[in-house]
Amino acid sequence: MPIAIRLATTHDLDTLAALFDAYRRFYAQPGDIRRARDFLCERMTRGESVVLLAEQDGEGRGFVQLYPMFSSVRTGRIYILNDLFVAEEARRQGVARNLLDAAAQHARDRGALRIVLETTRDNAPARSLYREAGWEEDSTQWYSLALA
């Protein structure tokens, strides 16, 4: 069956929470479905993020979460692609690429100037996927300040 990508709603929270919890565990966070569900629910109901859900045979296979931001210099909307996850059993089937393409189309349809993401330099599979999908790497140095 083909993969379908669609805009998620709060009706999808149970499916999304399971995927989001697996995503967080991938990054060495403790499993906590309730926390995952609450976080997504708050982001979605407040309009603070856009979540696209990949489904196959009625099952959630992956998701991408975008955070809307703005460019003051270019005076327009940008999106940060903050989270991309594909369930282990659905990997290497084009789900991640479909999610990337759907995220770009979502941003384009809303007149966004750009969509950006950040990944580690040692994440070769992701970097390869992004390049194949037309994303460009730049040498910008990001800095962060831990507040909590």
- Give the number of domains in the chain: 1
Q: Is residue 140 part of a domain?
A: no
What was the pLDDT predicted at 135?
83
For residues 36-43, give the mean pLDDT.
98
Q: Is residue 137 part of a domain?
A: no
Q: Is residue 20 part of a domain?
A: yes
Q: Is residue 145 part of a domain?
A: no
Res 102 pLDDT > 60: yes
What was the pLDDT predicted at 6?
96
> Which residue's structure tokens are 């369930």?
87
Torsion of CA 67, 118, 29, 61, to 10 degrees: 70
Q: Is residue 147 part of a domain?
A: no
Residue 145 confidence class, pLDDT cut points 50, 70, 90: low
More confident residue, 39 or 128: 39
Question: Domain containing 65: what range?
Answer: 4-132
Name the phi and psi angles at 110, rounded to 5.
-100, 15
Res 133 pLDDT > 60: yes
Q: Is residue 72 part of a domain?
A: yes
Q: Is residue 139 part of a domain?
A: no
Q: Give the CATH number for residue 70.
A: 3.40.630.30
For residues 94-117, give the mean pLDDT.
92
Q: What is the pTM of this model?
A: 0.89
> Which residue's structure tokens are 């282990």?
88
Q: What is the DSSP letter of 98?
A: H
Q: Is residue 90 part of a domain?
A: yes
What was the pLDDT predicted at 138?
76
Angle at 87 between CA 115 and CA 13, to 5 degrees: 75
What was the pLDDT predicted at 141?
57
What was the pLDDT predicted at 62?
97
For residue 81, with 0-12 CB atoms within 10 Å meaning exposed, 13-18 middle and 19 or more buried, which class applies?
buried
Res 77 pLDDT > 60: yes
